[in-house]
Chain A
Amino acid sequence: MAAVESLPPGTPSAMRNAFGTVLSALILVLIGVLAFSIRLFSVIKYESVIHEFDPYFNYRVTQFLSKNGIYEFWNWFDDRTWYPLGRVIGGTVYPGLTLTAGTIWWVLNAINIPLSVETVCVFTAPVFSAFASWATYLLTKEVKGSGAGLAAAALLAMVPSYISRSVAGSYDNEAVAIFALIFTFYLYIKTLNTGSLFYATLNAIAYFYMVCSWGGYTFIINLIPMHVLLCIVTGRYSPRLYIAYAPLVVLGTLLAALVPVVGFNAVLTSEHFASFLVFIIIHVVALVYYIKGILTPKMFKVAVTLVVSIGLVVCLIVVAVLVALVASSPTGGWSGRSLSLLDPTYASKYIPIIASVSEHQPPTWPSYFMDINVLAFLVPAGIIACFSPLSDASSFVVLYIVMSVYFSGVMVRLMLVLAPAACIMSGIALSQAFDVFTGSIKYQLSSKSKDDAEDNTSTKNAPKDDASSGKADKGEEVAKERLSKKGKKKEREPAEKPSVKSKIVKKKALVLPLEASIVALLLLIMLGAFYVIHCVWAAAEAYSAPSIVLTSQSHDGLHVFDDFRESYAWLSHNTDVDDKVASWWDYGYQTTAMANRTVIVDNNTWNNTHIATVGTAMSSPEKAAWEIFNSLDVKYVLVVFGGVIGYPSDDINKFLWMVRIGGGEFPHIKEADYLRDGQYRIDSEATPTMLNCLMYKLCYYRFVETDGKGYDRVRRTEIGKKHFKLTHFEEVFTSHHWMVRIYKLKPQKNRIRGRVKKLKQKTTSGVSSKSVKKNPWM
């Protein structure tokens, strides 16, 4: 729309172009401000604090980076987590986010703006979401023009799915990764459109930034080859395609291999094979086209028959070798997470840890409407608009949305990848619809002032238009579909001077009646208003909770539950620096970041056996649990308990997963032992194994003292065993609302009293055999 042409300044169209450019720039600035400010609700409602679990790890790594510099960061071996194994941070973390925030902090401090690391970390996500909406503008402009670009950018600034992972304080990989994703796609489309090697190099560098930031980069490296294949198969091969794809594969793979997390996986795992395969295919196709160009058609046919017969044999050999290589690995070369994407039932059968994460569950239908709202039914209109005309860029966007819809159906977490695609499609649809309506209005108004020259064209108001004006009042969706179909049939609407257009050109132009256009415009604006209202509500109410501070409204005002930070502060003030704390892996990152104590397992979940050890300890009776923890040098055990205030994500609700994960490695833990008739209960009907396990005891110790009856507000029953004593643990801390409870391992007794010793000597054989059988660590 706002195409830059070399016009002499001062002419009306040049003035209009200049005005359009300035207006676009102003709108983009406003969109950036909007994207930034809609994510600030959590800072306003709570405080500038880092949210959830994973961001605490990233925050700790950024702190380390800012204190010790980049060489120490690359070589950092962290011994305060996964005790006694430790973790190689330099080699297992995606460094993009931390390096970005570290650079911003360093630059700001170098120009004497003394922001703390925490402030930079909290506000990185909103800043990068502003960048992401600008990148969406650029991408959609390449596909359909700057009007669609502005619409898409405005939609992305507010879409709830993206807000949920990038509020101020959500300092996680996706905050920068989505920006990198959209920017990489933009550069790819730009290379495809212009065929310039410069943009291809930039594309590879942007892809490198994406690989640094997020494990979801495999989506790019599989989507782009699929698109190339699609173009080849539909006969749209061109040299620009080659220039767009080949540098990306080679440079991109090299750059991906440079990131320590990926390393040689960039060439060895199945996730990347698609790119190599299509690389070979595109070379073959290029060769074929080249030979076709220099030969006569008859010769070409001969060449084809010869090559096909030889080539088929060679291909079969190569494919056989490849299949043998791939089949030799048990998962066919794919990593666990990718395999669970392709086969949604894989994780629940083989890897319970992946299945237990709530983000990895398939989404429900309402979550689509919650997360992308109005865009859900603007997307089909956008897909249709992309087909008229179909270019390389628009076929890419269609493929992008189809793939992302599929993957978002497998995992809730990937709704985030769907959001930019949906915004682009909806932006295109909205922009086309607006074009049609405003064009009709303009034309109708100008034709009303000019009388007879347009007699011919006014009769083009087909009878369908009367039907559409009737139906336009019914429902927004129906009107949208019909009118966007009209937009597909209709050509570029008459714009400036009605007298210029010839009747032959405008014979095909279907112009809508004035009233219908105005009503439809108003309805579209109302649609946008509903979208904005929903987004602001979602950002304020649903997605701004920092989950480390909880609030609840009651009749006597606002209650704030700050138990987590209270207990971490207690830990950091009242224990030795080298004490080890055991808890379930959810709280590992927070414990190391805020309490600064060594933990046994944390959210990285890279070692399933270690987690299973902790899970077994939590599921065993006190003595066995004490022995396991003692072998790990643990001093303190931390549990989260929500029964007093009704906090549903506590350890008792997660307990069955502990049993399952522990039982996956240590077969003496059986899930059926903890269920009564297949039901998970903690009241008087619970099984004795459940009532004696460590988790039950640590959570409900002295619980009956709160209200006299031991009524658990989350499970909505009274607990089974109310009065009991702990023999191997002692309680050292319970937070204000009983949400976090910390216990200390009692040291072993130095002496065993005489009589007990004699008894033990008599029954040595029996005891020893029993202990050999029961203790699975020997």
Chain B
Amino acid sequence: MYNKTIVCVYAQDLLCSLHSAYLATPTNLKIHHYLIFLRSFYFLEHVSYMALVGSFSFNSFLFGVLSCTGTAFLAICLWIQVNKENKKFKDLAPKRAFADFVLSNLVFHLVIMNFFDRCPSPILNVVFMSCKNVV
């Protein structure tokens, strides 16, 4: 019992310090964190949907899952490179980092578009199919 209370106290301290340390990060990084959190949330939602309903269209499952992970990790990479406290990346200009990010996202989305199976609205479906054929 005694140990448990100490652990609880420690846990509270931990959360407090995490909270305060987190508040100290500059705002532009917080945007990254928010986006990453959003994407992780969508990823979990997609996986649970598949677990419930079954993986009928494995293509679209893959597309959903991997697009979430992909954009999430790419944002992480950008975050790593932009973070001012990261000494190893001091000589990498933020503009170059962002340009890399844009390029990799472009390639990533070109690739992931090939996994489109179908789309709810028929008009959008036609648009996406024609895009896919072009690509």
What's the Cα separation between A125 and B70 when bound, in Å? Answer: 36
* Most A CB within 10 A of own CB, among B76, B92, B97, B115: B76
**Nearest 10 CB-CB pairs, A to B?**
A197-B100, A294-B21, A302-B10, A201-B104, A239-B80, A198-B100, A246-B73, A250-B70, A299-B17, A254-B111
Contact status B104-A258, CB under 8 Å: no
CA distance A294 to B13 in the complex (A): 14
- Residues on the A chain within 8 Å of B108, using CB: 250-251, 254
A195 and B70 in contact, given A239-B80, A255-B111 (Cβ under 8 angstroms): no
Interface check B1, CB cutoff 8 A = no
Task: Output the nearest chain B residue to A197 by Cβ-Cβ distance.
Answer: B100
B103 near A: Cβ within 8 Å? yes
The reply on B89 being an interface residue by CB < 8 A is yes
**Assuming the A-B contacts A197-B104, A198-B100, A251-B70, are A243 and B77 also in contact, with contact meaning beta carbons closer than 8 angstroms in the complex?**
yes
With a cutoff of 8 Å between Cβ atoms, the chain B residues found around residue A243 in the complex are 77, 80-81
**B103 touching A258 by the CB < 8 A rule?**
no
**What residues of chain B lie closer than 8 Å to A267, measured between beta carbons?**
62
Contacts of A246 in B (CB 8 A): 73, 76-77
The residues of B that contact A302 with a CB separation of less than 8 Å are 10-11, 13-14
Listed by A's residue number, 29 A-B pairs whose Cβ atoms lie within 8 Å are A195-B88, A195-B92, A197-B78, A197-B104, A198-B103, A198-B104, A200-B77, A201-B104, A201-B107, A204-B107, A238-B88, A239-B81, A239-B88, A239-B89, A246-B73, A247-B73, A250-B69, A251-B107, A251-B111, A264-B62, A286-B76, A291-B18, A294-B21, A294-B22, A299-B13, A299-B18, A302-B13, A306-B7, A306-B14
Interface residue ranges of A601-648 to B (CB < 8 Å): none
Q: Give the chain A neighbours of B77 by CB distance below 8 A.
A: 197, 200, 242-243, 246-247
A653 within 8 A of B: no
CB-based nearest A residue for B10: A302
B17-A247 in contact (CB<8A)? no
C-alpha spacing A618/B71, complex, angstroms: 58
Nearest B residue (CB) for A246: B73
Please classify how large the interface on chain B is, using the bins under 10, 10 to 19, 20 to 34, 35 or more.
Answer: 35 or more
**Complex alpha-carbon distance, A678 and B4, angstroms:** 74
Tell me whether A376 is interfacial, beta carbon within 8 Å.
no
| A residues lining the B interface (CB < 8 Å) | 195-198, 200-201, 204-205, 238-240, 242-243, 246-247, 250-251, 253-255, 257-258, 264, 267, 286, 291, 293-296, 299, 302-303, 305-306
B86 at the interface (CB under 8 A from A): yes
Interface of A is mostly: helix
- Mark contacts of B81-123 with chain A using CB atoms, 8 A cut-off: 1 yes-contact digit, 0 otherwise: 1000110110010001101110110011001101100000000
For the complex, give the distance between the alpha carbons of A535 and B101 in Å. 46
Contacts of A205 in B (CB 8 A): 107
Find out whether the CB atom of A196 lies under 8 angstroms from the CB atom of B92: yes
Bound complex: CA A242 to CA B76 (Å)? 9
Contacts of A239 in B (CB 8 A): 80-81, 86, 88-89
Question: In whole angstroms, what is the CA distance A137 to B43 when docked?
Answer: 42
CA distance A306 to B104 in the complex (A): 37
Smallest Cβ distance from A142 to chain B, in angstroms? 17
For the complex formed, measure the closest distance between the CB of A495 and the CB atoms of chain B, giving whole angstroms: 28
Encode contact with A along B49-76: 1 for CB under 8 Å, 0 otherwise. 0000000001000100010011001101
10 new A-B contacts at CB < 8 Å, known A198-B103, A201-B100, A239-B88: A197-B100, A198-B104, A200-B77, A239-B86, A243-B80, A254-B108, A299-B13, A299-B14, A306-B10, A306-B11
Q: How far is the CB of A250 from chain B (nearest CB, A)?
A: 5
Q: Which residues of A contact B85 (CB under 8 A)?
A: 293
Chain A residue nearest in CB terms to B63: A254
Measured between beta carbons, the chain A residues less than 8 angstroms from B73 are: 246-247, 250
Q: Are A247 and B112 in contact (CB under 8 A)?
A: no
A242 x B107 contact (CB < 8 A): no
CB distance from A70 to the nearest CB of B (A): 12
Check if A250 sits within 8 Å of B100, measured CB to CB.
no
CA distance A302 to B10 in the complex (A): 7
Q: Which residue of A lies closest to B111 (CB)?
A: A254
Smallest distance from the beta carbon of A313 to chain B beta carbons, Å? 16
Give Cα A195–Cα B13 distance, bound, in whole angstroms: 35
- Give the Cβ gap from B29 to chain A, nearest Cβ, in Å: 11
Are B62 and A257 in contact, with the CB atoms below 8 A?
Answer: yes
Chain A nearest CB from B57 CB (Å) reads 12
For A306, the chain B residues whose CB sits under 8 A away are 7, 10-11, 14
Kindly list chain B residues whose C-beta atoms are within 8 Å of the C-beta of A286.
76
A243 to B70, CA, bound (A): 13
B25-52 residues with Cβ-Cβ distance < 8 A to A are 25
Residues in B with CB closer than 8 Å to A195 are: 81, 88-89, 92
- Alpha-carbon separation in the docked complex, A78 to B85 (Å): 59
Whether B100 contacts A254 by the Cβ 8 Å rule is: no
The reply to whether A303 and B14 form a contact with Cβ atoms under 8 Å apart is yes
In the assembled complex, the Cα of A703 lies from the Cα of B47 at a distance in Å of 69
Chain B residues, Cβ within 8 Å of A253:
66
Contacts of B99 in A (CB 8 A): 198
Distance to closest chain B CB from A324 (angstroms): 14
- CA separation between A201 and B111, bound complex, in Å? 12
Bound complex: CA A258 to CA B21 (Å):
43
Smallest Cβ-Cβ distance to A307: which chain B residue: B14
Complex Cα distance, B91 from A195, in Å, reads 11
In the assembled complex, the Cα of A238 lies from the Cα of B81 at a distance in Å of 12
CB-defined contacts of B103 to chain A, threshold 8 Å: 197-198, 201
A454 to chain B, nearest CB (A): 39
Cβ of A655 to closest chain B Cβ, rounded Å = 44
- Knowing A198-B103, A250-B70, A302-B10, the reply to whether A264 touches B58 (Cβ < 8 A) is yes
Nearest CB to that of B24 among chain A residues? A294
- A474: shortest Cβ distance to chain B, in Å? 48
Residues of A within 8 A of B24 (CB): 294
Alpha-carbon distance A257/B61, docked complex (angstroms): 13
Q: Which residue of B lies closest to A251 (CB)?
A: B108
Q: Are A296 and B88 in contact (CB under 8 A)?
A: no
Q: Please report the C-alpha to C-alpha distance between residue A542 and residue B101 in the assembled complex, in whole angstroms.
A: 50
Question: What's the minimum C-beta distance from B12 to chain A, rounded to whole angstroms?
Answer: 10
CB distance from A203 to the nearest CB of B (A): 10
Known: A201-B100, A243-B77. A254 touches B88 (CB 8 A): no
Bound form: Cα–Cα A255–B13 in Å? 45
A682 to B99, CA, bound (A): 73
Chain B: CB-nearest residue to A296: B17
Q: Select which of A196, A200, A204, A254 is within 8 A of B66 by beta carbon.
A: A254
Q: Are A247 and B104 in contact (CB under 8 A)?
A: yes
Report chain A residues within 8 Å CB of B100.
196-198, 201
Q: How far is the CA of A38 from the CA of B87 in the complex (A)?
A: 49
A264 partner residues in chain B, CB cutoff 8 A: 58, 62
B66 touches A295 (CB 8 A): no
- Is A254 a contact of B112 with CB atoms below 8 Å? yes
- Assuming A247-B104, A250-B69, A253-B66, is B21 touching A197 (CB within 8 A)? no
Instruction: Give bound CA distance, A267 to B59, whole Å.
Output: 11
Q: How far is the CB of B103 from chain A (nearest CB, A)?
A: 6
B50 to chain A, nearest CB (A): 12
Residues of B within 8 A of A198 (CB): 99-100, 103-104
Tell me which residues across on chain A come within 8 A of B76, comparing CB atoms: 242, 246, 286
A509 to B88, CA, bound (A): 32
In-complex Cβ contact of A197 among B70, B86, B101, B115 (8 A) = B101
In the assembled complex, the CB of A694 is this many whole angstroms from the nearest CB of chain B, namely 46
> Shortest distance in angstroms between A90's beta carbon and chain B's nearest beta carbon?
15
Q: Which residue from chain A places its CB closest to the CB of B85 in the assembled complex?
A: A293
Closest to A196 in B: B100
Once bound together, how far apart are the Cα atoms of A242 and B21, in whole Å? Answer: 23
Query: Smallest CB-CB separation from A250: which chain B residue?
Result: B70
